[in-house]
Amino acid sequence: MVTLLDSLRDWMRTQRDIRVAAVFGSHARSLAGEAQPADPWSDVDLQIVTTRPRIYLDRSWTAGVRGQTLVAYAVRPVFGGVQKVTALFSGGEADFVVVPYRRLWLGRLAFTLGLHRRVKSIQRGLGEFALVMSFGQVVLKGGEGWQRFYARAVKEIPLSHLSDEDAVSLADGAYVDAKSILGKLERGEFVAVQRWLHRSLVETNFRLMHELRYRRRLVSYPDGRRVEQLLTPEELASVRFEVALNEASLRAAILRAIGGTRSLIHQLTGKAAAWPELG
């Protein structure tokens, strides 16, 4: 059986603009023999390093992927100003981080010269790259030199994570939003309250929880993945909400969410948040 990853590997071999390609995440760990095979729901996560990044703003290139029919296509910006392309094929979903070749070539040169140890902006940019690749990576195109660079980068570059100042700033933003959300609740805007509860408060707690687990050297995944298997019931309480569209349920959820934010900030920084209690 030809898998989506097989089809994409065949396609990448023929693309002259793609100088480097790497699969990362669960499929990379499977290829490296470090984990059980990726389950049927696992996306194919790829980084493609190209001399023509604008090609991937349009879906027409997908016609060259043999054995696959395109179902849906989306382009979104991600870290460092690069683009993330999500292509839903008949054989599954593939996420592509599209990186201009010159940018990664210069990043590799800066790393080779040790500039990531002295220049904060370079450390931050390469830290974001290393963080993505820290979940496992296998270079499919580009050669052994690039595979060595990826492996060294993950080992030697400080991964991009939240500082205490970043965490406090996120939490302050969540508290301010909570005040605003409570105002919407008083006006009976229940659907808007539900939206902002998840968009701001719960999302902040996910990011703070991920950072806390990283600092404690515990397994954690971006985007709240697998939290049901990883978190304790007490930890889950700050990110899991079953909310009815009525004032009592929504108010309780808002207060519980911001209470979780308080707890996470205290655990991360050792300091209590200075906000007054919300009514």
Within 8 A by CB and 6+ apart from 112, the residues are: none
Report d(CA 158, CA 3) in Å as an integer. 35
pLDDT (mean) for 30-58:
81
At 56, which amino acid appears?
Y
Does the pLDDT value for residue 61 go beyond 80?
yes
Helix (H) or strand (E) holding 46: strand 44-50
What letter does residue 276 receive in the DSSP assignment?
Answer: P
pLDDT (mean) for 75-89:
87
pLDDT (mean) for 224-250:
91
**Rounded mean pLDDT of the chain?**
90
Token output for 85: 């392309």
Does the pLDDT value for residue 36 go beyond 70?
no
Report d(CA 109, CA 115) in Å as an integer. 9
Q: What percent of the chain has pLDDT over 90?
A: 68
Q: What percent of the chain has pLDDT over 70?
A: 95
